[in-house]
Amino acid sequence: MLSVKNLIDTNSLTADDITQILDTAKSFDPIVNNRVIKKVPALRGRTIVNLFLEPSTRTKSSFELAEK
């Protein structure tokens, strides 16, 4: 469990938090790459939000595609 409830920026993360995030991301790789339907069960019931403070259509589109 992370030391923060909501991840707004990386300044509040500890080294253990960052390690946990990276380990979790690494565990998704075989799940996502070997599935016909590219949805990750661990994210079921979660809301993913992007907040862009500056316009960037390419980045926004990339993130939106990754969320699907």
**High-pLDDT (> 90) share of the chain, %:** 16
| Full 3-state SS string of 1-68 | CCCCCCCCCCCCCCHHHHHHHHHHHHHHHHHHHCCCCCCCHHHCCCCCCCCCCCCCHHHHHHHHHHHC
Domain contains 23: yes
Residues 16-30: tens digit of each pLDDT:
999 999 998 888 777
Q: CA-CA distance, 65 to 36, in Å (whole number)?
A: 16
Domain contains 10: no
**pTM higher than the cut 0.75:** no
Domain contains 54: yes
Domain contains 46: yes
pLDDT score at 17: 93
Q: CA-CA distance, 16 to 22, in Å (whole number)?
A: 10
Q: How sure is the predictor about 35, in pLDDT bands with cuts at 50, 70 and 90?
A: low
Taking alpha carbons only, the member of 59, 43, 41 closest to residue 51 is: 59
Domain count within the chain: 1
Domain contains 6: no
By residue range, what is the domain housing residue 40?
A: 15-67
Query: Does the pLDDT at position 12 exceed 70?
Result: yes
Domain contains 62: yes
